[in-house]
Amino acid sequence: MYDKDYAYAGTRLNGTYVTLENGTPIYINEVTGKGTVDYLNLLTNAHDVCHLDLVNCKPVRLGYVNTPEGAVYVSRIPSRRYRQGLTLQSVNCRILGEPALRNNINNANLASCIKGNYLSIKEIGTRFERAVKKINPFDQGRIREIPSFAWSRRWALQRNGKVEYRGKVVGDFVNGKVQLLPKFKYLKEELEESL
């Protein structure tokens, strides 16, 4: 893509998230003048080097990122700021429909999103129901102890028992099952595919 213009590649890729050709998510520290890429492997948290030809410059796939604060919906904002890869400054983060802090997203969580590694809805439901049983429903301060998780890039169960699709509340989690609100019945097929 950049031919032999490694200085230009550095201006577009340094400090960004991309993947290697084999799909491994990485954070590029630096592209040297000889085309060597110094990067951090997000899966192993190890530093390594490769040649620029092994870097896949296609945009990484985003969606829900499971963080310690809960399932955060991450989407790109229209401004790339002259970068080829993804930077945390070029994303919009929302949790429960409200803006979320970008610094809650760590490399391991982002790597799971990029790779598409999520818990199953069954596992999420079990964890959610177990946590709800421990909480006094009148103690709203403890509701933050209930976990919220995404089971795919587009679907998440939030701690308030609401089901979200791409950052928007579209249903409820009742008796271990997802129930879509009537106006979102058109999402039924996509929901079934995600389960």
Domain range summary for the chain, segments of one domain joined by +: 6-56, 64-114, 121-194
Model pLDDT, residue 1: 66
Q: Where are the beta strands (DSSP E) in 22-121?
A: 25-31, 36-41, 46-51, 55-56, 64-67, 70-76, 91-95, 98-99
Whole-Å CA distances, 95 to 55, 64, 118, 154, 192: 31, 9, 17, 13, 23
Series of mean pLDDT values for 10-residue runs along the chain (195 residues): 82 91 93 91 92 90 88 82 79 71 75 91 85 68 70 90 91 89 94 89
Query: What is the spatial distance between Cα 91 and Cα 110, in angstroms, rounded to a whole number?
Result: 12
Nearest to 49 by CA among 68, 35, 65, 63: 35
pTM of the model: 0.84
If you classify domain 6-56 with CATH, what class do you get?
mainly beta
